[in-house]
Structure 1
């Protein structure tokens, strides 16, 4: 059976869920946080080492300012009110992306959250915030050139935001959309991809377990013949 160290998730469908059920996209974003907590608990139970959540992409700046502000405030409130519980549960928080472009209050909370949880080892939750895989790769190449290193796979790996994280074994995308949306394109060369029809707030423990069990029995050759 295939071991599972790292699960990555594109949490798609919050806005559509909110409009359908509450008449508001923002209601869907708020509901999606409940699913986040559920899946973190499941990952802990299944002893999964890394969980990476695609929270806000470099392309999401195209959304209405009111929605962007709501998303950032939602994350700020989550970090403020949940951080002690996160520490208690031994969850390590790690943020990846172009964080310097975020509002200063949110940046300060991110730094504080990472500092307070840095010694936790039960699970590492990576929050991809203002993240885009293409910009990450360009950044890595610029860093390699600056360090006067050879451009090769090893050095690119070392200069990505994910340099200390194993590549995802599984990618889950909810929301009935079948694309990667500029998410961890380099890291997911051999990731098994599962597209889920349910919108993110409707995704549950049972759905997650079905995907984990399906992954465990997949024959993974990584380009070879076995």
Structure 2
């Protein structure tokens, strides 16, 4: 597969930095580890933005809680880890198509803002998140998925190179930021912490000429 790349003279700083891709940090919480079988229960996406000094910063987070899709399963042990209460009265869950629409719309707007060709998923063990996202897209037949179907930026690799750490909590702490274990395993918290980790590492890297 090939991608159309903006010419260097016309590309925005973001498009030039990542070859026409917009990094978007995604975290999912699920009903298990098998993306073909287990339910997608939470999703959060954080487009990466640029501040006035050209440094990478977090954009606006979009998130949704989801009803388990028909035919998917939930491993009770997964709920013990995440603490998700599917029957909580203030969960305000959406069905998969509506949830994907809700998250994809601001991602597409951010892609357009930066003159990029498409989003590229950034995650900690990124293919786990991408596989669950792609499975949900396939279930609902979504036609406007802004993410590259298989390429990712993985903060496990980046943090391993930068800090010698591969566990998210330890990598975040090694980057000089705080980690609150009580808030972990929430899609929003994990996505925003992963986004801060990504920005810290990339901002410290020499800019390509």
TM-score after normalising by structure 1: 0.31
Structure ranking higher on relative contact order (CA contacts 8 Å, 6+ apart): 1
Q: Which has the higher strand share?
A: 2
